[in-house]
Chain A
Amino acid sequence: EADIYQTPRYLVIGTGKKITLECSQTMGHDKMYWYQQDPGMELHLIHYSYGVNSTEKGDLSSESTVSRIRTEHFPLTLESARPSHTSQYLCASSEYSGRGPAYEQYFGPGTRLTVT
């Protein structure tokens, strides 16, 4: 079983608030990812990190920012939330499995964000 945690699981906030979604993993994985997903729909990569002090934007443009100060921690911040940010945010981590190019990812349970 993978150990990757996200808090909060559900969040309802008003427009203009600053929020931070937390993601932590206890597996020592160096690669971590944030995805945005409307429930049950396609996954969109918004940020990724290949190690401490390394962060990159993903395929989908996002107004959020991330940081990676510690291996196990990869928080996502929205400085001013808007209704268009309403979505599910999934955090994942990965490590080379040792057999072929198999960078399987392990996912947290997700944060369902609603901005009113």
Chain B
Amino acid sequence: GNSVTQMEGPVTLSEEAFLTINCTYTATGYPSLFWYVQYPGEGLQLLLKATKADDKGSNKGFEATYRKETTSFHLEKGSVQVSDSAVYFCAISMDSNYQLIWGAGTKLIIKP
């Protein structure tokens, strides 16, 4: 079946470090890909998305590229801030289903 696998957390970095959170998926079709972010005590917010191969989604300094050949959608940021501390969820959407398939989430901790 369809599934999403994310890097296990927590990921702890110092401020201004480079961030990568890995996400790979298994899908029988051609999904759309998403990254959501959840700050403490809040609901989830869409961070970025990509709908076709080689698309790059970007927002707030974060980027992720849809890699069909490796079925991956890794999240990157060049210089993280303390305010980026949150839980990050990778998800996919299939055109045959109105639901999102979620990864388990990766907690990111940024230390000053």
The interface of chain A, by Cβ under 8 A from chain B, is 6, 31, 33, 40-43, 45, 48, 50, 90, 92, 94, 99-110, 112
What residue of chain B has the Cβ atom nearest to residue A4's Cβ?
B43
Contact B43 A40, beta carbon cutoff 8 Å: no
When the two chains form the complex, which single residue of B40, B51, B96 contacts A99, counting CB atoms closer than 8 Å? B51
Contact A48 B99, beta carbon cutoff 8 Å: yes
Contacts A40-B87, A101-B30; is A50 near B43 (CB within 8 Å)? no
| Residues of chain A with a CB closer than 8 A to B96's CB | 101
Contact B42 A102, beta carbon cutoff 8 Å: no
Contact B32 A102, beta carbon cutoff 8 Å: yes
| Residues of chain B with a CB closer than 8 A to A112's CB | 41
**Binary interface encoding of chain B residues 40-56 relative to chain A, with 1 for a CB under 8 A from any of its CBs, else 0:** 11111110010110000
| Residues of chain B with a CB closer than 8 A to A103's CB | 32, 93, 98-100
Size category of the B interface is 20 to 34
**Binary interface encoding of chain B residues 3-34 relative to chain A, with 1 for a CB under 8 A from any of its CBs, else 0:** 00000000000000000000000000111101
| Residues of chain B with a CB closer than 8 A to A43's CB | 44, 89, 102, 105
| Residues of chain A with a CB closer than 8 A to B46's CB | 104-106
- Would you call B74 an interface residue if the criterion is a C-beta within 8 Å of the partner chain's C-beta atoms? no
Contact A41 B105, beta carbon cutoff 8 Å: yes
Of residues 94 through 112 on chain B, the ones whose CB sits less than 8 Å from some CB of chain A are 94-96, 98-100, 102, 104-105, 107
